[in-house]
Amino acid sequence: MASIKFATWNINSVRLRIEQVGKLLQEQNIDVLCLQETKCPNDAFPEKALHKFGYEHIAKHGQKGYHGVAIISRIPLEDVKMRVFCEKDDTRHISATIAGTDGLRIHNFYVPAGGDEPNPEINEKFAHKLQFLEEMISWYKGHKDKKNNKLILVGDLNIAPLEEDVWSHKKLLKVISHTPVEVDLFEKFMSSHSWIDVMREFVPSTEKLYTWWSYRSKDWRVSNKGRRLDHVLTSPALAGKTTSMTVYSDARSWERPSDHAPVIFDVDIS
| % of the chain exceeding 70 in pLDDT | 100
Using the predicted structure, report yes or no on whether residue 1 has a pLDDT greater than 70.
no
So what's the pLDDT on residue 164?
A: 98
For the segment 21-35, what is each residue's pLDDT rounded down to a tens digit?
A: 999 999 999 999 999
* Domain span at 96: 3-268
DSSP 262: -
Structurally, the chain folds into a number of domains equal to 1
Q: Cβ distance 108 to 155 under 8 Å?
A: yes
| Mean pLDDT on 97-114 | 97
Mean pLDDT of the chain: 97
Using the predicted structure, report yes or no on whether residue 217 has a pLDDT greater than 90.
no
The C-alpha atoms of residue 144 and residue 165 are separated, in whole angstroms, by 31
- The closest of 196, 110, 210, 116 to 160, measured between CA atoms, is 210
Using the predicted structure, report yes or no on whether residue 45 has a pLDDT greater than 80.
yes
Using the predicted structure, report yes or no on whether residue 235 has a pLDDT greater than 90.
yes
Using the predicted structure, report yes or no on whether residue 270 has a pLDDT greater than 80.
yes
Using the predicted structure, report yes or no on whether residue 177 has a pLDDT greater than 80.
yes
| Mean pLDDT on 6-25 | 98
So what's the pLDDT on residue 216?
A: 87
The C-alpha atoms of residue 32 and residue 256 are separated, in whole angstroms, by 23
Using the predicted structure, report yes or no on whether residue 101 has a pLDDT greater than 90.
yes
Q: Please, which residues have CB within 8 angstroms of residue 197's CB and are 6 or more apart in sequence? A: 190, 231, 232, 233
| Mean pLDDT on 64-71 | 96
| Mean pLDDT on 256-268 | 97
| Mean pLDDT on 129-139 | 98
Using the predicted structure, report yes or no on whether residue 64 has a pLDDT greater than 70.
yes
So what's the pLDDT on residue 261?
A: 98
| Mean pLDDT on 42-56 | 97
For the segment 151-163, what is each residue's pLDDT rounded down to a tens digit?
A: 999 999 999 999 9
**CATH number of 149's domain:** 3.60.10.10
